[in-house]
Amino acid sequence: MENKKVLLGMSGGVDSSVSALLLKEKGYEVIGTTLELFAGSSCCNIETYIDAKNVCNQIGVPHFTYNYKEEFKKYVINDFIDCYSNCKTPNPCIECNKYMKFGAMWEKAKELGCNYIATGHYAKIVYSEKYQRWALAKSNAGKKDQSYVLWNIPKELVEHILFPLADFEEKEQIREIARKNNLKVANKPDSEDICFIPDGNYKKFLENNSDLKPKEGNIVNSKGEVLGKHKGLYYYTIGQRKGLGISNPVPLFVLGFNKARNEVIVGEEKALYTKEIRVKDINLILVDKIEDWIDVEVKTRYSSKAAKAKIIQENDEIKVIFDEPQRAITPGQSAVFYDGDLVLGGGKIL
């Protein structure tokens, strides 16, 4: 008999609450859990725990909280600080998914005798005949699809993951299910910011939690000519136009950094476009290795459109050549490779 026991990550929001309801309706034995990750964050505070526990009580499933603050600091906060210290722009949700939601939570699920873990992400798990394995795929949610932030989950875990919201196209459908079932979180707003920076001020967070402090330096063009002053390298990101404090006949954008000289390098918009990148820290879900050039679509940030490209693996890096130049590709962000709706894999942009 199939083990239909599932550990569901719950943030106290409407997505994970409705996920609990849908799983129970499908005959799964659901255990809800909220991970304690960072004190005062938007996804694990007293209100979060109470909302998640109340939903579980209402639909008749157990709920537990587990403390993973140390692990979260080690894998997510430290990476966030390290990226900004090295002039990169991180995506902490990707690290959290890898190490916490699909790392620590899966270990806890096995301890509890669960065969599955689930979350309220908008993504799909399907069996691919082409690749003869379970695959992560885009959900039906269009712009809200979250497959991009899930590329780093371990491939051996894919067949043990459930995404109950995979087939929904609109958030309003989820809220409607919550209303019909009298869930108090039906109209709870989404949290848009980085969970451990609820006020959105990442500079203040870095200054309070690391050695990073404002350190003035020069803003220069590609010839090295000084055009102005900056407040600290971590105040800027590639493609940024506002806040440079430079008057120039044509708009200038951040093109990159010279950490050794404490310089922000700026230039015209055309210099932001590039056809070729490399990625490291690869995770391939559909194949074990990319032996030859293959055609894929690549997303280089969550909100960007997928672009056609060719990729090949060279040792522990992947080389990406786009059909058309792409704008403001940013080291530290993720490049995610798609074969149609399937996530082939991804890596960190160098």
Catalytic site positions? 96, 195
Strands (E), 4-121: 5-9, 29-36, 63-67, 116-118
Strands (E), the chain: 5-9, 29-36, 63-67, 116-118, 123-128, 133-138, 161-162, 217-220, 226-230, 253-258, 263-267, 273-284, 294-299, 307-314, 317-327, 334-339, 342-349
Quick count: other Cβ atoms within 10 Å of Cβ 188? 18
**Strand, coil or helix: what is 87?**
coil
For residue 176, which phi and psi values (nearest 5 degrees)?
Answer: -65, -40
Cβ neighbours for 168, distance < 8 A, ≥ 6 positions apart: 122, 139, 140, 141, 174
135: tokens are: 């695959």
Q: How far apart are the first and last CA of the chain?
A: 47
- CA 250: distance to chain centroid? 34
Closest residue by Cα to residue 87 from 240, 305, 312: 240
Closest residue by Cα to residue 227 from 240, 244, 250, 241: 244
- CA 154: distance to chain centroid? 15
**Cα four-point dihedral sign 339, 343, 347, 350:** positive
- How many whole angstroms separate alpha carbon 301 and alpha carbon 330? 9
Cα 260 to Cα 130, 217, 264, 267: the distances in Å are 48, 11, 11, 19
